[in-house]
Amino acid sequence: MRNYYIQRILSAILTLFLIASLTFFMMHAIPGGPFSRERSLPPQIQQHLEEKYNLDDPLIKQYFDYMVGLITFDVGLSFKKPGYSVSELITLGLPYSMEVGFYAILLIILLGVPLGIISALKQNKPVDYFVMFIATLGVTVPSFVVANLFLYFLAYKGGYISVLWPTEPGINPTFLQFLGPVVALSGYSLSFVSRLTRSSMLEVMRQDYIRTARANGIPRSKVIFKHALKNALIPAITYLGPMIAGILTGSFVVEKVFSIPGIGQYFTQSVTDRDYTVIVGTTAFYAALYIVMILLVDVAYSLIDPRIRLGKRSE
Amino acid sequence: MNKVAYNNFDFLPPEAKSDKEQTRPSLTYWKDSWRRLRRNKGAMVGLFGILAIVLFAVIGPLFTQFTYDQQVNKYKNVEPFLNVYEVDEGVFVFVNIDYYAYQISEKGELIDRLSGKRPEKNIAEGIWRYHYNLNGKDLILDYSYKQVPEKAGEGIAYSFIYDGVEYKEKAKTVWNKTYPLGTDNLGRDMLSRLMEGARISLLVAVVATVVNLFIGITYGAIAGYAGGRTDDIMMRIIDIIDSIPLLLYVILLMVVLNDTGLQTIILTLGLVYWVGMARMVRGQVLQLKEQEYVLAARMIGVPKHKIVFRHLIPNALGPILVSMTMMIPTAVFTEAFLSFIGLGVSAPHASWGTLANDGARSIQTAFYQLLEPSIGIALAMLSFNFFGDGMRSAFDPRLRRG
Amino acid sequence: MRLFQEDILKNIQFEDDLILKVDHLQTTFYTHMGQVKAVRGVSFDLRKGEILGIVGESGSGKSVTAMSIMGLVDEPGRVSGGSIRYGNLELTKLKDSEMNQLRGKEISMIFQDPMTSLNPVFTIGQQLKEVILTHTSLTGAEAHERAIQLLRMVGIPEPELRVRQYPHQFSGGMRQRVMIAMAVSCNPKVLIADEPTTALDVTIQAQILELIQNLKTKLDSTVILITHDLGVVSEICTKVNVMYGGLVMESSDVIDLFENPQHPYTNGLLQSVPINVRGEKARLIPIDGTPPDLLKPPSGCPFSPRCPHTMGICQKEAAPLFRINDRHCAACWLHSPEAPQVPGYVQSKVGEE
């Protein structure tokens, strides 16, 4: 059992390493540095800037510095926002992304799973069709469409909320303010989780061991919520891990539309600005978070499903 | 059926014993799946939507007066539905977002933009006006109603004054027949641009999916058929690629390649999303290669690549088709998403994503410019998803009957 | 365990040793393709101490009969007619929550495929204890002890260790033993075994059958054994019902059935199977034709299309059960006094049942 965990952790570290390196080299493969896109700078100034940012060091040294920096969480300074280090930017943006993300995750788990269960139990009845229809909409209508619709109707047309995200200290966003981004952010995942829970419940309810439980006189509610659910949640958990990472970091688009100063915003901004260190730094951060979540999911998985934990052995 | 009546206790000759044959007409996998697909209402609605969009993209441009990049300066930011005011017998005017006034026919055909726009503003006296020339006389737009508190009670945003008469209420709302979906901020016809957007979005999505198909199928088939070490390594590679959201790769690639042309986008999408297809094909191949006909083919000495391409892949076509149908909306979405964050196709080409991005800038003043492409994207994705869902259920061999 | 429910078993009474009386049971599945009449009028009595074998091919209705008794027939099917009496309780009129008081406690069932019949995410012990705690008032610790005891009783070595293990750590035969342990954990009066050995090796088969027999004696219960295998029937059953097309074709003491079959279908079965109770050499003769389509069941006797001795009346009306002797009856018009004699086929002609 311990082998399983060690293997997983090593694998995660390796992947992280690869991703970070990949990102680094990709960024440096771009012809011209970050400064060559501005209106032509006098060559001395350009050279001076490059020196300052160590861009004139041999690539290997830059790579080495970068990797070392990565471990100490120092990923360099932002090119385009002078004075800010990348880690500072990440720390600045994280709370905003996480706040919205947290509510989104809550919504997904507390609404998505029960809806899926209800749909499965009342299969092919009106409730099922209705829920599944909404879920299909949620999966297909893109998040930026939803986000813009919310922004338009709540902020511009209705004037219920401010157009910009409140960022002054002491002022907390209202419920309505959160409604737009949370729904836009969670829309896809909420629907996906509902559908997933539903289909996996349906699958599980058809299994022989459910029939056994019923044949032994176990009350129906226990059969559903104890025997079936535990098995049905396994695929949902697999999805939940990476989903949480994605949501906590804030969808790029949702943050842009609602002017939320989260990590997603910084990422998209850095992409447009070609601010390399920020791009590399945030990508590494995303990747790290993602991989950690997958690791956690694997652990949770093994706790629920004993076949994974103990290895499949039949006598 | 025999008409001869048999006595109750006589033995029946063999012909009289009607043995209802249990055989139903045997359907091939394809015919059965197609039948199931046709019955699925959602899938048919989706298919209808897809066809409608394709027609819109391909044939639509034949029916519009304008091209997607034709700019008509005087008709910038004209809405599709206009509040027109009848300021004189048979003379209808309206004002656009930028406070230009236009004359329009009663049926909705644009006549011309009024010349001589000049502002008249005196805040202290509560005068907020624009003047225009209409048929030699002075047309006044009074928009003080929202600026001056005393006038707020009247509940209107503006009024027209012509020939001494003030018109506070619109005569009617008319549908803009010259530009059925309005114009954008450069005077380009939204309808034509949407058609162009449809073409680009679909083109990108389909071609990228086809590229994905080739890469994915080949990779997956090889991994699945080879098995053993090769398979392990190949799947490891996929696992590593898969460990961060594919969207990140797309964004990074786009930044690196630094070129937002059509080909680049298609290439980028094609190079990233094949992993899903590869996984699925590998799974199918793993299952299929244990089948007896594969064993038989190997026994006869059919070379490996022939087995893969002529036996295994055609039999995996069902799930492959389904995957393909589901990949198209992902590609549409990704392209739109990229455009929305500024990495999409560049002007003057317009995909729905770029249109949405452009429209988002005028969300407050010209919401229709954002709404129209958004609806387009949503409809496309809905159609493909419904159809794809239907395909998935129809081609599921476990649900086969007959 | 049940707080607000009336105890169904409060006033239960049994007459003589008649445990279960099934009378003209009909179970139908209402599908979008039509009504599938799986059980079309089955009647039999189950007396204490019997091991009743229900034999038939797939589609004969034998499993559905058992599920109907247990009340486990789910949408789109349901019991559409007839009665099932357990003592003086009419089972067809009970609610699901009321049936739960009986299932696992009074009437238990084990199923065909042991590999998938146990919940993979709970230990054997947890699953056993759950059944025990549901139907008895034992404490958790007592239930744990009982679980170990049960495992020992069904022949699982090292039960104290095994009770904490998961299903995937057991082989097929062991899992079936666990299933049996679960089924007998509350001393049920009736144990229904639906093809318990079909998915197992032949060697394990014999062990499982022996186990069932032993337990029946030890716990003084009655068994219904469903199978398509006449060999199994000959091993442990005391009485046999032969089913075909949703109806009982012949019902008899086991020895009588093999020595003196009185239905063309039973005859056909015996001739097509490579066991020969009489120890003679004989050819394998399969039965022509295919089982009936239960969506459109044939009028008259379901076996008539394939019967070598079909008569006019066989196509018009299904035969009632004719009594051959006090332990043997057959649903075949050949037993009617008006029927002609068939050369080479021994029929006794007695009156209707």
Residue C190: per-residue pLDDT: 93
Interchain CB distance below 8 Å, C312 and B19: no
pLDDT at A231 over 50: yes
pLDDT at B259 over 70: no
Residue A162: per-residue pLDDT: 67
Q: How many CB atoms lie within 10 A of CB C82?
A: 18
Residue B384: per-residue pLDDT: 87
ipTM: 0.84
Residues 6+ positions from A204 with CB-CB distance below 8 Å? A210, A228, A231, A232
Q: Which residue of C has its CA nearest to B5?
A: C312
Residue C352: per-residue pLDDT: 44
- Evaluate whether B132 touches B95 at the Cβ level (below 8 Å): no
Across B348-376, average pLDDT: 85
pTM above 0.95, yes or no: no
For residue A85, list its beta bridge partners: A77
- The neighbours of chain C, by the rule of 3 or more Cβ pairs under 8 Å, are A, B
Q: Does C290 touch chain B (CB under 8 A)?
A: yes
Across B203-227, average pLDDT: 86
Residue C25: per-residue pLDDT: 93
Position B186 confidence tier, pLDDT thresholds 50, 70, 90 = confident
pLDDT at B3 over 60: no
Query: Residue A152: which H helix or E strand, with range?
Result: none
- Evaluate whether C228 touches C262 at the Cβ level (below 8 Å): no
Which residues in chain A are closer than 8 Å to B337, comparing Cβ atoms?
142, 144, 253
**CA nearest to C195, candidates C169, C229, C163:** C229
Q: Tally B–C CB contacts below 8 A.
A: 50
Residue A17: per-residue pLDDT: 78
Phi, psi of A241 (to 5 degrees): -55, -65
Reported as half-sphere exposure (CB side, CA atoms, 13 A), residue A54 has a value of 14
- The neighbours of chain B, by the rule of 3 or more Cβ pairs under 8 Å, are A, C
Q: Which residue of A has its CA nearest to B386?
A: A136
Across A121-149, average pLDDT: 84
In this complex, which of C290, C293, C313 lies closest to B8 when CB atoms are compared?
A: C313
**CA nearest to C212, candidates C82, C304, C346, C109:** C109
Rounded distance between C-alpha atoms, residue B383 and residue B53, angstroms: 9
Interchain CB distance below 8 Å, B381 and A141: yes
Rounded distance between C-alpha atoms, residue A4 and residue A1, angstroms: 5
Which residues in chain A are closer than 8 Å to B333, comparing Cβ atoms?
142
Least reliable range by pLDDT among B107-111, B173-177, B313-317, C122-126: B313-317
Crossing angle of helices A175-205 and A86-107, in 10° steps, is 60
Rounded distance between C-alpha atoms, residue C83 and residue C25, angstroms: 6
Which residues in chain C are closer than 8 Å to B11, comparing Cβ atoms?
309-311, 340
Specify the higher pLDDT residue, B26 or C42.
C42
- By three-state DSSP, how is residue A235 classified? helix
Rounded distance between C-alpha atoms, residue B355 and residue B371, angstroms: 10
Q: Tens digits of per-residue pLDDT, A78-115? A: 666 666 677 777 788 888 888 888 888 889 989 989 99
Q: Tens digits of per-residue pLDDT, A157-201? A: 766 666 677 766 666 777 777 888 888 888 888 888 888 888 888
Residue C274: per-residue pLDDT: 65
Residue A240: per-residue pLDDT: 81
Q: Is the dihedral of CA C296, C302, C308, C309 positive or negative?
A: negative
- Evaluate whether B340 touches A144 at the Cβ level (below 8 Å): yes
Mean pLDDT of chain A: 77
Q: Of B258-262, B339-343, B354-358, which one has max mean pLDDT?
A: B354-358
Residue A315: per-residue pLDDT: 31
State the burial class of residue A194 (Cβ atoms within 10 Å of its Cβ: 0-12, 13-18, 19+). Answer: buried
Rounded distance between C-alpha atoms, residue A269 and residue A258, angstroms: 14
Position B206 confidence tier, pLDDT thresholds 50, 70, 90 = confident
Q: C201-204 contacts: CB < 8 A, separation 24 or more? A: C201/C172, C201/C173, C204/C172, C204/C173, C204/C176
- Evaluate whether C223 touches C274 at the Cβ level (below 8 Å): no
- Evaluate whether B383 touches B8 at the Cβ level (below 8 Å): no
Specify the higher pLDDT residue, C179 or B225.
C179
Residues of chain C with pLDDT under 50: 1, 350-353
Q: Tens digits of per-residue pLDDT, A286-314? A: 777 877 887 787 778 777 777 766 654 43
- Give the distance from residue C305's alpha carbon to the nearest chain B alpha carbon, in angstroms: 5
